[in-house]
Structure 1
Amino acid sequence: MPLWRSYAALLQGTWRSMRVHRVNLVVTFLGSAALQGTQLAFIGVLLHAFGAIAGWSVGEVALLYGLRLTAHGVCTINFGQHRGSAQAIRNGEWDRYLLRPVSPLVQMLTRYFNPGTIGDLVLGLAILVTAAQLVDVTWTSGRILYLVLAAVGGGLVEAGLQIGISGLDFRWGPVTRIKDTIDRVLTDFGAYPMSIFGTVGNWLLTFLVPLAFMAYLPMTVLLGRTDELVVPLLFAQLSPFVGPLVLRAGILVFSRMSRWYSSPGN
């Protein structure tokens, strides 16, 4: 069976098992949406006080935040169980993955489904739809398609980054703190135009931590703000297509690092 079909089948089974506990599903969903909503409220306070952020209007910042949150939802719904890598290695669960005729990484990514991730995606989409009406953009079919590709591509960039870092669990032991730090950087900085961080900050958040590819670069294209870029225009225009490359690279790093696995039962 092709890898993607194995992944889809296992993920579907995990979804079905979670639907049995509907109360927990709803409570977790609402909790996640409320948590993400607090950051949106904070951004709203800033915009109310200053009127704009780096020249970006309320609608533009909201659209940027909506795209970043939607991309995050794409990542966490499909790949969020990368967070379980350290536990799977430590308790020997990885041994069981190795005995089954399916990719161990696929098994880890589909071992459990966090219903809170639905809240991220739904809230992100709601903000996108609302904010799209607040900006001076003619939403042609081409622009809508580009926005969809940007959301998916941004999610794949985040997934590839975190999966690659998860591979370090095999060499260094648990790197949960590193992943949490990266997640915090993506959350705290991803909601704002990169131009507020200066040229050095822009470069760091583009090539060291590829946050800019997750929302900011494609949004500058959609909003006609490419004049503020510190990278070539082509980088921004092609940013939605970087996601599959980063995901592939992250999977390769994880697979290479997994060769260092040592069973806790040895």
Structure 2
Amino acid sequence: MVQLQIFGQYLKQYMKARLAYRLDLIVKFITDLISQSFNLIFIVVVFGHTKQLGGWSQAEVIFIYGYFLLPWAIFGTFFNLWSFNDRYIIKGELDRVLTRPVHSLLQIIMESMTPESLIGVFTGLAVMGYGASQLDLYWAWYDPILLIVFTLGGVLVYGGIFIALTSISLYTDSKTDIQPIVFNVSNYGRYPVNIYNRIVQFVLTWLLPFAFVGFYPASYLLDRGDWRFYAYLTPLVGVVYFAIAVLLWNRGIRHYRGAGN
């Protein structure tokens, strides 16, 4: 309950600051939409040269991409950790965080969140709706519930991977370029995993499981039974990776020596 109250206060202060510069907020919405539009255009261009991609139609790939946007938008809202090293390690703000009774990771999430990124959820639903309109899909009554569960599982996968990578900064003061590399790998999860070779499929499933963020859950919603087992694993994979990430974070905090050292 206390954490929710603190979260509400952080959110209130953030929105006050963002609404003071409304034009910046509008520009962010527009740039996000443009970026997502380019990805859709890329899919259309690819299917301009082929009718199927690894056995998947254009409408199915568009649906998968739309689903991918849901966990990505929520992750981008609450796990905006890209500047952690500069802000909290090099500039020493982590020392301030550690003097407070609330868990350090929760504080950093609340200080770095960008609620406007949630617009991506509506964009994703719109893209999914367009893809579904081109397909003959039947959803059972429980499929919307599974959609929410799968989405939250994907958010935990994303959060777990990038929290674990961020925790590396707690052991060293030097900058690391691992996050941008892994971010580029994450983009492979927005397309059918069977179009890649077996090594890439293994990496996207068991090492950096970004296939659970987009492809596997979306394939279930598309009623492609070949991947049903993997789709059901999505929440479990998310919980496991997130739990490991929190353990690594807590260990890194204990290892952290402070900005003055």
Secondary structure (helix, strand or coil) at the match of 2:135 reads coil
Give ranges in structure 1 of 5+ residues lacking alignment: none
Q: Kindly indicate whether the alpha-carbon contact (under 8 Å) linking 2:156 and 2:242 is maintained by their aligned counterparts in 1.
A: yes
Q: Is the 8 A contact 1:14 1:112 kept in 2?
A: no
Give the structure 2 partner of residue 243 of structure 1.
238
Aligned to 1:89, the other structure's residue is in SS state helix
Separation (CA, whole Å) in 1 of partners of 2:2 and 2:254? 22
Q: CA 1:58/1:109 → structure 2, altered by over 3 Å: closer, same or farther?
A: same
1:4 deviates by 5.4
Matched, 1:220 2:215: no
Match of 2:15 in 1: 15
Q: What amino acid maps onto 2:195 in structure 1?
A: I
* Cα drift, residue 176 of structure 1: 4.3
SS in 2 for 1:51: coil
CA distance in 2, matches of 1:174, 1:195: 38
Q: Structure 1: which amino acid aligns with 2:149?
A: L
SS at match of 1:100: coil
Task: Flag the 1:181–1:219 CA change in 2: closer, same or farther, 3 A.
Answer: same
Moved over 4 A (4+): 1-5
Shift of 1:207: 0.8
Query: Residues 234 and 4 from structure 1, CA distance in 2 versus in 1: closer, same or farther, beyond 3 angstroms?
Result: farther
Aligned identity (percent) is 28
Q: How far off is 1:140 after superposition? A: 2.9
Which residue in the other structure is 1:45 paired with? 45
Equivalent position of 2:168 in the other structure = 168
Number of aligned pairs? 260
TM-score, structure 2 normalization:
0.90
The residue number in structure 2 matching 1:68 is 68
Q: What secondary structure, in the 3-state scheme, does the structure 2 residue paired with 1:49 have?
A: coil
> Counterpart in 2 of 1:95?
95
5 Å-filtered alignment, 1:181-220, equals 181-187=181-187, 189-220=188-219
Alpha-carbon distance change, 93 to 10 in structure 1, aligned in 2, over 3 angstroms: same
Deviation at 1:14, TM superposition (A): 2.2
CA contact (8 A) 1:71 1:152 kept: yes
CA displacement at 1:2 relative to structure 2: 4.9
1:106-149 superposed Cα distances (whole Å, 9 cap, x missing partner): 22112244466244333222212222222221123211221222
8 Å Cα contact 2:51-2:57 kept in structure 1? yes
1:144-172 alpha-carbon deviations (Å, 9 max, x no partner)? 22122222221221011101110011114
Deviation at 1:47, TM superposition (A): 1.3
Task: Give, in whole Å, the separation in 2 of the partners of 1:79 and 1:61.
Answer: 26
**Helix, strand or coil at the partner of 2:191:** coil
Q: Which amino acid aligns with 1:237?
A: Y
8 Å Cα contact 1:165-1:254 kept in structure 2: no
**Distance of 1:206 and 1:174 partners within structure 2:** 30
Q: 1:32 to 1:205 in 2, by over 3 A?
A: same
Query: Does residue 102 of structure 2 align to residue 107 of structure 1?
Result: no
Give SS of 2:145's match.
helix
- Secondary structure of 1:50's counterpart equals coil
Shift of 1:242: 3.0
* Equivalent-residue separation in structure 1 for 2:239 and 2:12 (angstroms): 22
Q: Following TM superposition, by how much is the alpha carbon of 1:83 offset from its aligned partner in structure 2, in angstroms?
A: 1.7
Asked whether the 8 Å contact 1:28–1:115 carries over to 2, the reply is no
- Does 1:158 pair with 2:158? yes
Give the CA RMSD over aligned residues.
2.2
For 1:111 and 1:196, the matched residues in 2 are separated by: 39
TM-score w.r.t. the length of structure 1 is: 0.88
How far is 1:204 from its partner?
1.1
* Cα offset, 1:94, TM superposition: 0.5
